[in-house]
């Protein structure tokens, strides 16, 4: 019958999802060219760890650069004391690591001031540490505190300004020739007859001639009547800090 044959000739329309379903179910190696799979979701904790590690490395770099400038470029070329170079660098590194590993928002301020107070009053018991070296030690400890506890990454400008300002202040104040300094040398003096107040000018002239220094005053520390000698301190002005002990008679006490 014509009607029945006409209805049988009608084919169903192809599904629009047929090709998509076939592609999505195919193995990765059989994907057609140009096909892109969806990216895997990013773990927020991994991103936070990477950011924390980057900030930690940046803190280390800032602290290492600051202490290098302080110790190798400012202190050592002027004072040439290798022992203090070791001490300053080690104190800075220890202080930086302690502050960074143990510091948090709850104990940050109190923890920083506590360490600052402890390290600022430290004294070596084996040798007398000059006041200038103690000041450098305090600066090295302060640099470790600043670089370990600064608020990053929002506080980069403050961190850079604080480090640069502190180093610039040290460079200006420790520069030779800024202020005259009164130095003293200890002398075993073999002319006690010149130590009377009436012959003070003769004493100063003799000290200038024998030491080659512009001595402007002298102070008697000890008088030895048996050997007829005296231990005196001769004071003179210079632009650098020096120290010496001279034996005027060629014989120590």
pTM of the predicted structure, to 2 decimals: 0.60
pLDDT at 102: 76
Q: Which residues contact 121 (CB under 8 A, 6 or more apart)?
A: none
With b meaning 16 or more CB within 10 Å and e meaning fewer, what string describes 114-125?
A: ebbeebeeeeee
pLDDT at 30: 53
Ordered by start, the domain boundaries in the chain are 48-173, 181-247
pLDDT at 10: 55
Is residue 204 within 8 Å of residue 189, measured between CB atoms? no
Counting Cα atoms < 13 Å in the Cβ hemisphere of 78 gives 20
Residue keyed to tokens 């604080």: 162
Per-residue pLDDT of the chain (253 residues; tens, 9 = 90+): 444 444 455 555 555 544 444 444 555 555 555 556 566 676 777 777 888 888 889 899 999 999 999 999 999 998 888 888 998 999 899 889 888 887 655 555 666 666 666 665 665 555 677 888 889 988 998 999 899 888 877 778 999 999 999 999 999 988 766 667 788 889 999 888 888 889 999 999 999 999 888 899 999 889 888 888 899 999 988 766 554 444 444 444 4
pLDDT at 9: 52
Counting Cα atoms < 13 Å in the Cβ hemisphere of 92 gives 29
pLDDT at 75: 93
CA-closest candidate to residue 246, choices 203, 188, 184: 188
């Amino acid at each position: 019958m014509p009607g029945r044959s006409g209805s049988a000739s009608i084919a169903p329309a192809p599904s629009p999802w047929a090709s998509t379903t076939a592609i999505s179910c195919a193995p990765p190696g059989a994907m057609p060219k140009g096909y892109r799979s969806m990216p895997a979701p990013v773990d927020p904790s991994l991103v936070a760890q990477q950011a924390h590690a980057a900030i930690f490395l940046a803190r280390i770099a800032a602290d290492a650069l600051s202490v290098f400038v302080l110790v190798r470029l400012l202190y050592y070329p002027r004072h040439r004391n290798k022992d203090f170079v070791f001490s300053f660098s080690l104190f800075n590194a220890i202080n930086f690591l302690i502050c960074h590993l143990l510091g948090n928002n709850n104990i940050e301020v109190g923890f920083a001031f506590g360490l600052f107070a402890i390290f600022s009053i430290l004294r070596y018991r084996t040798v007398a540490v000059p006041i200038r070296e103690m000041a450098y030690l305090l600066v090295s400890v302060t640099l470790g505190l600043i670089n370990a506890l600064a608020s990053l990454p929002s506080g980069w400008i403050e961190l850079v300004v604080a480090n640069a300002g502190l180093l610039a202040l040290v460079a200006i104040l420790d520069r030779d020739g800024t202020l005259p300094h009164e130095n003293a040398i200890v002398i075993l003096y073999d002319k006690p007859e010149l130590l009377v107040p009436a012959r003070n000018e003769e004493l100063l002239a003799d000290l200038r001639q024998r030491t080659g220094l512009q001595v402007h005053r002298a102070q008697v520390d000890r008088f030895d009547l048996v050997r007829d000698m005296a231990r005196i301190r001769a004071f003179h002005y210079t632009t650098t800090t020096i120290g010496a002990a001279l034996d005027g008679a060629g014989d120590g006490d």
